Amino acid sequence: MSAPDLETLLANAARLALVAIGLLALIAALEYARMILAPVFLAVVIGLMFGPLSDRIERFGIPTWISALGVVALFLSLIAMTGTAFAVPLSDWMDKLPDIWARLQSQLTTWKGLVASFGGMQEELRSALGQSTGMKVDVDSTSPVESAVYFAPAFMAQVILFLASMYFFIATRKQFRETVLWLCPTSALRQSARRIFNDVEARVSRYLLSITAVNIGLGISVSLALWAIGVPSPMLWGLLAGVLNYVIYIGPAVMALLLTGVGLATSDTTAGILAPPLVFLTLNLIEAQFATPAVLGRTMTLNPFVVLLAIALWIWLWGPVGGFIAVPSLLIVETVLINILPLRELEEMPPGTSAPG
């Protein structure tokens, strides 16, 4: 290898190393500042979703701060309605927990032999390896009340930060956009920045509103199907299916596990146990393969593997909030890259035209 080629290779390796170090530093910063950044990022995503609604309200001559306040009040009303819909059936299931636990114990007695055989194999393996079979168990003496008292102030602070961030983002997003455009030194950069702002808001808003409509339809379908096969509290499971479906891949898997537990608690037969999760998985398959692509269109689809990695990363960083903002974050990154890289020019070129250079 010649000296110039070696220098080029080392320069490229140094750039890649800087990029990798920057990504690691960004991940560490996101994890360290999750208490502040998570509610702010969530507020921005929700604000992008409700931004067009605020614009329509302002067309009637209503001041920006009133429209932003109305949007936040509407969002809180939706959350309160959802919480109320969860609270009533959940209270019934909480009252039934002792009976459900007794039924689960009776259903799981058939697994005792298998568990015992695995336990015997484990003891034999430990004896062969010369390891002690003793086990030390440390019991956390913290009571649920103490945990709630400890975490309640932090949770309330995050809620207040989320609501304040959502309000100020909706109320001042136009001023922020104009400030960024004013700072752009050239007209070409200004035009690109304006296109990024418009495309990001349009794509994220369309995605979240479309997914919300799809999830409502899925929740209604799941409720009706579970009611038809006699599952108790079908509205609760339909509502939960719609909420969990915001976290694609992982949410439906959690829902299938929950419905398997419901089947174990409410039925004595194999068909009765498997019916709830199978019904849900069938409806979820129809939604994922037909309903969602029809509503969003092929232009809004992302690589499934990239989506899965993004969801895993964001859930690892920020938990459920990260799972919700994972796909909108991908849409934002993709939109920015499309506008700053020469991909748009290639897409807009007529067929048969070669790329410049």
| Complete DSSP assignment for 20-58 | HHHHHHHHHHHHHTHHHHHHHHHHHHHHHHHHHHHHHHH
Does 345 have pLDDT greater than 60? no
Closest of 283, 213, 210 to residue 252, by C-alpha: 283
Per-residue confidence at 129, pLDDT binned at 50, 70, 90? low
More confident site: 76 or 117: 76
293, 301 contact by CB (below 8 A): yes
Name the pLDDT band for 112 (thresholds 50, 70, 90). Answer: low
Single pTM value for the model? 0.78
Instruction: Dump pLDDT digits (tens) for 77-104.
Output: 999 998 888 877 777 777 666 666 666 6
Band (pLDDT 50/70/90 cuts) for residue 105 is: low
Q: Which tokens belong to 140?
A: 């956390």
The overall longest dimension of the chain from CA atoms, in Å, is 81
| Spatial contact of 219 and 242, defined as CB atoms under 8 Å apart | yes
For residue 310, pLDDT beyond 70: yes
Cα angle value 75/76/81 (rounded, 5°):
100
pLDDT band of residue 161 (cuts 50, 70, 90) is: very high
What is the overall mean pLDDT for the chain? 82
In the chain, where the domains are located = 11-96+160-346
Considering only residues 317 and 120, tell me which one the structure prediction assigns the higher pLDDT.
Answer: 317
Helices 270-286 and 187-228: crossing angle in degrees, nearest 10, is 150
DSSP 232: S
Helix or strand or coil: residue 6? helix
Query: Is residue 48 within 8 Å of residue 205, measured between CB atoms?
Result: yes
Q: Inform me whether the pLDDT recorded for 202 exceeds 60.
A: yes
Distances (CA, A) of 60 to 56, 65, 166: 7, 14, 22
pLDDT surpassing 50 at residue 132: no
Give dist(CA 228, CA 225) in Å, integer: 5
pLDDT at 219 over 90: yes
Task: Name the residue among 149, 323, 312, 163 with its Cα closest to residue 245.
Answer: 323
Is 348's pLDDT higher than 70?
no
**For 247-280, what is each residue's pLDDT tens digit?**
988 999 999 998 988 888 788 788 888 999 999 9
283-292: pLDDT as tens digits:
999 998 888 8
- Of 50-54, 65-69, 144-148, 310-314, the one with minimum mean pLDDT is 144-148
pLDDT of residue 159: 92
pLDDT of 351 reads 45
pLDDT at 128 over 60: no
- Asked if pLDDT for residue 216 goes beyond 80, the answer is yes
User: Does the pLDDT value for residue 342 go beyond 90?
Assistant: no
Res 291: pLDDT: 86
With cut-offs at 50, 70 and 90, classify the pLDDT of residue 356: very low
Window from 2-11, 16-25, 37-46, 225-234 with minimum mean pLDDT: 2-11
Amino acid symbol at 70: G
* Distant-in-sequence, close-in-space partners of 321: CB < 8 Å, separation ≥ 6: 38, 39, 41, 42
Q: How confident is the model at residue 224 (pLDDT cuts 50, 70, 90)?
A: very high
